[in-house]
Amino acid sequence: MQIFRAIFLLFVLHSAALVAAQGSSSLANKTISWKTLSGNAPLVIARGGFSGIFPDSSSAAYSLALMSSLSNAILWCDVQLTKDGAGICFPQVKLENATDISSVFKNKDKTYLVNGVSMQGWFSVDYTLNDLSNVFLTQGIFSRTNKFDGNLFNVLTVDDVALQFKPPGLWLNVQHDAFFTQHNLSMRSFVLSAFRRVIIDYVSSPEVGFLKSITARLKGSRTKLVFRFLGQDETEPSTNQTYGSLLKNLTFVKTFASGILVPKSYIWPVDARLYLQPQTSLVLDAHKEGLEIFASDFANDMPFSYNYSYDPVSEYLSFIDNGNFAVDGLLSDFPITPSEAIDCFSHISKNDSGQANPLVISHNGASGVYPGCTDLAYNQAISDGADVLDCPVQMTQDGIPFCLGSINLIDGTTVAQSSFSLRSIVIPEIQGVPGIFSFNLTWKEIQSLSPAISNPFTDYTLYRNPASKNSGTFVTLADFLALSKTAGTVSGVLISIENAAYLAEKQGLSITDAVLDTLSKADYNLSAKKIMIQSTNSSVLMKFKEKTNYELVYMVDETIRDAENSTIEDIKQFASSVSINKASIFPENLAFLTGITSVVPKLHSFKLNVYVQLFSNEFVSQAWDFFSDPTVEINTFVMGAEIDGIITDFPGTATAYRKNRCLKLGDNIPSYMNPVQPGGLMQVITPQYLPPAEAPYPVLTEDDVAEAPLPPISKTSPNSNTGGSAAAPTSPSQQPRITACVFLSTLTTLLAFLLLF
Ligand SMILES: *[C@@H]1O[C@H](CO)[C@@H](O)[C@H](O)[C@H]1NC(C)=O
Ligand SMILES: *[C@@H]1O[C@H](CO)[C@@H](O)[C@H](O)[C@H]1NC(C)=O
Ligand SMILES: *[C@@H]1O[C@H](CO)[C@@H](O)[C@H](O)[C@H]1NC(C)=O
Ligand SMILES: *[C@@H]1O[C@H](CO)[C@@H](O)[C@H](O)[C@H]1NC(C)=O
Ligand SMILES: *[C@@H]1O[C@H](CO)[C@@H](O)[C@H](O)[C@H]1NC(C)=O
Ligand SMILES: *[C@@H]1O[C@H](CO)[C@@H](O)[C@H](O)[C@H]1NC(C)=O
Ligand SMILES: *[C@@H]1O[C@H](CO)[C@@H](O)[C@H](O)[C@H]1NC(C)=O
Ligand SMILES: *[C@@H]1O[C@H](CO)[C@@H](O)[C@H](O)[C@H]1NC(C)=O
Ligand SMILES: *[C@@H]1O[C@H](CO)[C@@H](O)[C@H](O)[C@H]1NC(C)=O
Ligand SMILES: *[C@@H]1O[C@H](CO)[C@@H](O)[C@H](O)[C@H]1NC(C)=O
Ligand SMILES: *[C@@H]1O[C@H](CO)[C@@H](O)[C@H](O)[C@H]1NC(C)=O
């Protein structure tokens, strides 16, 4: 039964997790000379397999790692010894965090000293390999999905991993030798006997004594010994020196090891606020000594320095492609990402324009990096290479159109902390909760506020660039157009218009006239740039259709599973492009993709461009299927769904994607640059762990699209007419709709209380 399940699982993984997974091609070696010790491409080392998604050291984790990584990827096994001296692969000396042992052997926990520290739990030394045959691996890191815990993944021995997976390279890490010695078990005997049975490429340990004890026996073999550094202040048990002081004598390390493995902060230190400090000279020092150097602690779903803007590829590149040095290997829980970084993203010239598709459209400028719609956010989007800069237009009380992500100043400014906080009001036509609205303040008053960075993921304690959270200045539509016009790489602007009917009727403000007027004064149509007008309300686009020939973009503000042909024909009347949210293409349930809709091919068959929002780098914004890697997500939407444009808070990640050299490989594209199979991971979930089925999303109908024409501008003074609390209730078609937020809130429920940081 179990065997059948395991075979089925491997079959599913093979056929489903990645389309046409052929991790064969490796461009990296052929074209590039690396600043590694050997001059070859850095290695990818998969810690416990693909432990970022499947239980650490499980068969699924090891197979997925091999399927999704460079063809020479190395499987990492943390070796622990059982009571009968068998070597198993398991991340910790205690078993209960990532197995179900505490329920199999109830109340059998023990307390032992481990390197002088008293620890309580279920230790491998108390169980024989046979005892462990009834124990199954589970997800031990609580911010990761536990949905695969029903798969009865067996504990694997070192021999199992070597023989079942035949990895291109096997790395044994012996974290504890002294502890097992205290229990009369010999790691040395185990490693030396395993060495005779299977091919072991690397053995690492943070214990000098252990490495010294095997170095003579392994001399002349292909097995390399690597000294693992722990925290600089921790004491190495056999020399009684701190790792920090051992680091000062690499000549000594070279006497018993051919390489070192260090936490990434040894190479790129971060300060207490998680900002990068200047790189150390450690990689150069190690190479000078003839030591290989490997960096550890890479995971896409753990906080890393803000300097990388939540883009894990850019973090890897700083270790392998920084002009000065390259580490010899990267130890990662998500081996697909360093594989991409090494083979597809390294050594790309800044000049490389990459492929043209998809269009990269900013969302409130580079709002993942700076407060949205500020000069800083726009300049960042320009230097990131965005094609289209966006301005969501809002109106001030004195009729000035300016750019801000929301009509409610509480989002995007410090108004709530200002004296204007008294101007809070409920306007049901706009939103159900109180707000302080842009049309209630003059431009001068708004300029007295500070911008505030958007922080959509505070529930997971993920913040954006805190050092710049209130920096930059607000930008009028006129300034925005001037800025875009002079930016050589920017090919167009996308101007979003919402709440036009309310502003006209209740505030006497014509946002559409203000936009047209500003555009004509800016003489924008004479520059060679494209002007896109986006709205969720067809009446706004109709107004622009009458007056201009701009590219009109209809934004669908609900998640849909399909659209009627007649509806699309209606949309064709006033738009040439449509923007939809991610879940309208890849529906998901509890952050697992459930499949793919035909919305994109359908819109394409009517010759409409399809732009997709909203892409963010933070891993919690992505379905599990994308491996917490924003590049895998983008790639799947581009190659798997053939979208025409990406609307993103982090344009730099999308433009870097377009430049990656693996896109040119056609049929030879490596597995890590293939789109994921939507619904593939869901198939690996056992029935009792499956999320309950959800009602399908609605179909977009003509009623959703049809709107009354924009009302005339009221002559009433806004001052006498702002109180919205008595306004008539909205008609059924205007009820709040399911939006992209639903996607994020399901993740919220799943993860919010689990995140350990
Ligand atoms: C690069 O070439 C070297 C030597 O030819 C080889 O050992 C190594 O595995 C290759 N690396 C990759 C990523 O193919
Ligand atoms: C095991 O999980 C507990 C929380 O239940 C945590 O406090 C502990 O640090 C974990 N141990 C290890 C070795 O990860
Ligand atoms: C290890 O062996 C010694 C000597 O045979 C014995 O005294 C000791 O109790 C053993 N320790 C353990 C943990 O089994
Ligand atoms: C290690 O150092 C501590 C104090 O620095 C000392 O008390 C202890 O005896 C030393 N242990 C060994 C094994 O040298
Ligand atoms: C560093 O280690 C080497 C080799 O063990 C030794 O000869 C040398 O004296 C050490 N240097 C220092 C400063 O301790
Ligand atoms: C990281 O970002 C901070 C804040 O912007 C900056 O001061 C620092 O120089 C950056 N670090 C590196 C290594 O670029
Ligand atoms: C990049 O472009 C600049 C100016 O266009 C040129 O001077 C430079 O040589 C180019 N660099 C590369 C690596 O092509
Ligand atoms: C702003 O809103 C307040 C209510 O909070 C209202 O009394 C005032 O008239 C409004 N001012 C303008 C200029 O719209
Ligand atoms: C540019 O805008 C002006 C003023 O709205 C209009 O008269 C002119 O025809 C436009 N030119 C082009 C090329 O669209
Ligand atoms: C909808 O349009 C597509 C593409 O034009 C066409 O293939 C399909 O048959 C149409 N469906 C219906 C129900 O008319
Ligand atoms: C769209 O605009 C029309 C006026 O043109 C207005 O009546 C309608 O309420 C608006 N629809 C939505 C959903 O805001």
The reply to whether 29 falls in a domain is no
For residue 566, which ligand has an atom nearest its CA? 10
Confidence category of residue 142, pLDDT binned at 50, 70, 90: confident
Nearest CA, atom 8, ligand 9: 525
Average pLDDT over residues 695-723: 79
**Tens-place pLDDT, residues 157-185:** 999 999 999 999 999 999 999 999 999 99
* Same domain, yes or no: 508 and 371: yes
* Same domain, yes or no: 475 and 400: yes
Residues 6+ apart with CB under 8 A from 604: 610, 642
Q: What is the pLDDT of residue 29?
A: 52
The four Cα atoms 43, 47, 48, 54 give a dihedral, to 10 degrees, of -100
| Average pLDDT across the chain, whole number | 90
Coil, strand or helix: which one is 671? helix
Higher pLDDT, 320 or 355: 320
349 lines ligand 7 (CB under 6 A): yes
pLDDT higher than threshold 50 for residue 560: yes
Average pLDDT over residues 275-297: 98
* Same domain, yes or no: 374 and 312: no
Average pLDDT over residues 649-671: 94
Q: What is the pLDDT of residue 527?
A: 72
- In this structure, of 438-442, 656-660, 753-757, the range with the lowest mean pLDDT score is 753-757
Q: What is the pLDDT of residue 181?
A: 96
189 lines ligand 5 (CB under 6 A): no
Q: Tell me what percent of the residues of the chain surpass a pLDDT of 70.
A: 90
Nearest CA, atom 3, ligand 9: 520
Q: What is the pLDDT of residue 131?
A: 97
Q: What is the pLDDT of residue 751?
A: 32
* Same domain, yes or no: 276 and 401: no
* Same domain, yes or no: 310 and 388: no
- DSSP secondary-structure letter at 99? B
Average pLDDT over residues 626-632: 97
198 lines ligand 6 (CB under 6 A): no
Q: What is the pLDDT of residue 351?
A: 82
Average pLDDT over residues 320-339: 98
CATH number at residue 414: 3.20.20.190
The reply to whether 388 falls in a domain is yes
Most informative mutation of 562, 565, 699 for ligand 10 (most atoms within 8 A of CB) = 565
Q: What is the pLDDT of residue 568?
A: 97
**What is the number of residues in the chain?**
757
Coil, strand or helix: which one is 681? helix
Domain boundary among 314, 345, 376: 345
Confidence category of residue 525, pLDDT binned at 50, 70, 90: low
Most informative mutation of 212, 215, 242, 252 for ligand 5 (most atoms within 8 A of CB) = 252
* Same domain, yes or no: 336 and 367: no
Q: What is the pLDDT of residue 635?
A: 97
Do residues 303 and 757 make contact, with C-beta atoms less than 8 angstroms apart?
yes
Most confident of 75-79, 345-349, 350-354: 75-79
Average pLDDT over residues 392-400: 98
Confidence category of residue 293, pLDDT binned at 50, 70, 90: very high
* Same domain, yes or no: 325 and 436: no
Q: What is the pLDDT of residue 662?
A: 94
748 lines ligand 1 (CB under 6 A): no
Residues 6+ apart with CB under 8 A from 449: 409, 413, 414, 415, 418, 420, 474
Confidence category of residue 482, pLDDT binned at 50, 70, 90: very high
Coil, strand or helix: which one is 292? strand
CA distance 309 to 368: 7
pLDDT higher than threshold 70 for residue 552: yes
Q: What is the pLDDT of residue 353?
A: 80
* Same domain, yes or no: 382 and 489: yes
Confidence category of residue 602, pLDDT binned at 50, 70, 90: very high
Average pLDDT over residues 644-667: 95
**Tens-place pLDDT, residues 260-271:** 999 999 999 999
* Same domain, yes or no: 337 and 441: no
Domain boundary among 287, 317, 345: 345
Residues 6+ apart with CB under 8 A from 393: 401, 402, 403, 477, 495, 496, 497, 511, 514, 515
Question: How many A from CA of 97 to the centre of ligand 2?
Answer: 6
Question: How many A from CA of 274 to the centre of ligand 6?
Answer: 10
Most informative mutation of 32, 40, 671 for ligand 1 (most atoms within 8 A of CB) = 40
Question: How many A from CA of 405 to the centre of ligand 11?
Answer: 19
b/e sequence 176-197, b meaning 16+ C-beta within 10 Å: bbbbbeeeebbbbebbeebbee
Do residues 440 and 478 make contact, with C-beta atoms less than 8 angstroms apart?
no
Confidence category of residue 356, pLDDT binned at 50, 70, 90: confident
What the block records as the tokens of 534 is: 């986006």
Confidence category of residue 26, pLDDT binned at 50, 70, 90: low
For residue 347, which ligand has an atom nearest its CA? 7
CA distance 739 to 736: 9
Higher pLDDT, 750 or 371: 371
Average pLDDT over residues 32-49: 95
The reply to whether 428 falls in a domain is yes
Nearest CA, atom 1, ligand 8: 440
Question: How many A from CA of 547 to the centre of ligand 9?
Answer: 10
pLDDT higher than threshold 90 for residue 714: no
Confidence category of residue 16, pLDDT binned at 50, 70, 90: very low
275 lines ligand 6 (CB under 6 A): yes
Average pLDDT over residues 642-647: 98
Higher pLDDT, 733 or 288: 288
Q: What is the pLDDT of residue 745?
A: 31
Q: What is the pLDDT of residue 738?
A: 28
Q: Tell me what percent of the residues of the chain surpass a pLDDT of 90.
A: 83
* Same domain, yes or no: 63 and 147: yes
* Same domain, yes or no: 547 and 413: yes
Which CA distances in Å does 35 have to 38, 43, 316, 411, 644?
Answer: 8, 13, 14, 46, 37
What the block records as the tokens of 35 is: 């600043």
Nearest CA, atom 8, ligand 6: 276
* Same domain, yes or no: 383 and 315: no
- In this structure, of 43-52, 241-250, 694-703, the range with the lowest mean pLDDT score is 694-703
Domain of 339? 43-94+138-345
Report the pocket of ligand 8 as residue ranges, CB < 6 Å: 397, 423, 425, 440, 718-719, 722
Question: How many A from CA of 536 to the centre of ligand 11?
Answer: 9
The ligand 8 atom nearest the CA atom of 720: 9
41 lines ligand 1 (CB under 6 A): yes
**Tens-place pLDDT, residues 537-551:** 999 999 998 766 799
Average pLDDT over residues 688-692: 92
Number of H helices, E strands in the chain: 25, 29
The reply to whether 352 falls in a domain is no
* Count of the separate structural domains present in the chain: 2
CA distance 541 to 497: 9
**Amino acid (one-letter) located at 231:** G
Residues 6+ apart with CB under 8 A from 590: 147, 691, 746, 750
Q: What is the pLDDT of residue 219?
A: 87
Domain boundary among 313, 345, 377: 345
Q: Check the CA dihedral 35-37-39-42 and report its sign.
A: negative
Q: Tell which residue, 330, 318, 325, has the closest CA to residue 294.
A: 330
Q: H or E element: which one contains 653?
A: helix 651-659
